[in-house]
Amino acid sequence: MTMSTTPLATIAMVTYNSSAYVAQAIESVLCQSYENLELLICDDYSSDNTRKIVQNYSDTRIRVILNEQNLGEYANRNQAARLARGKYLIYIDGDDILYPHGLEFMVRMLEAFPNSAMAIARPWNEKIIYPVEFSPRQMYLSEYLGGGNIAINFAHVLFRTAVLQEVGGIDTRYKTGDAWIQLRIARDHPCLLISDGLAWWRRTPGQSSEALLRNHASWPEYYQYRMEFLMHEDCPLTKEESNIAISNIYSTSSRLILKYILKGRIGYARKLIKKSKFPLRAWKFIRSSNLRNHLVEVNAGNPLFSEMKKNPFARFTEGEHI
Q: Which helix (H) or strand (E) holds 277?
A: none
Q: pLDDT at position 263, please?
A: 96
Residue 164 predicted with pLDDT over 90: yes
- pLDDT tens per residue across span 115-152: 999 999 999 999 999 999 999 999 999 999 999 999 98
Residue 213 predicted with pLDDT over 70: no
Residue 89's DSSP bridge partners are 10, 159
Tell me the pLDDT band of 90, cut-offs 50, 70 and 90.
very high
Residue 216 phi, psi dihedral angles, 5° rounding: 55, 35
CA distances from 69 to 42, 80, 122, 123 (A): 12, 15, 36, 38
Q: Cα(249)–Cα(161) distance, rounded to whole angstroms? A: 31
From 44-48, 98-102, 191-195, 305-309, the region with the lowest mean pLDDT: 305-309
Q: pLDDT at position 124, please?
A: 95
The alpha carbon torsion through 31, 33, 34, 40 (nearest 10 deg) reads -10
- pLDDT tens per residue across span 103-119: 999 999 999 999 999 99
Residue 211 phi, psi dihedral angles, 5° rounding: -65, -35
- pLDDT tens per residue across span 167-198: 999 999 999 999 999 999 999 999 999 999 99
Q: pLDDT at position 309, please?
A: 72
Share of the chain above pLDDT 90, in %: 87
Q: Cα(302)–Cα(283) distance, rounded to whole angstroms? A: 38
Q: Cα(282)–Cα(99) distance, rounded to whole angstroms? A: 45
Q: Where are the alpha helices (DSSP H) in 232-320?
A: 239-262, 266-276
Q: Please enumerate in sequence order all residues whose Cβ is within 8 A of that of 300, keeping only pairs 6 or more positions apart, or say none.
A: 126, 127
Q: pLDDT at position 212, please?
A: 62
Q: Is this model's pTM higher than 0.85 or not? A: yes
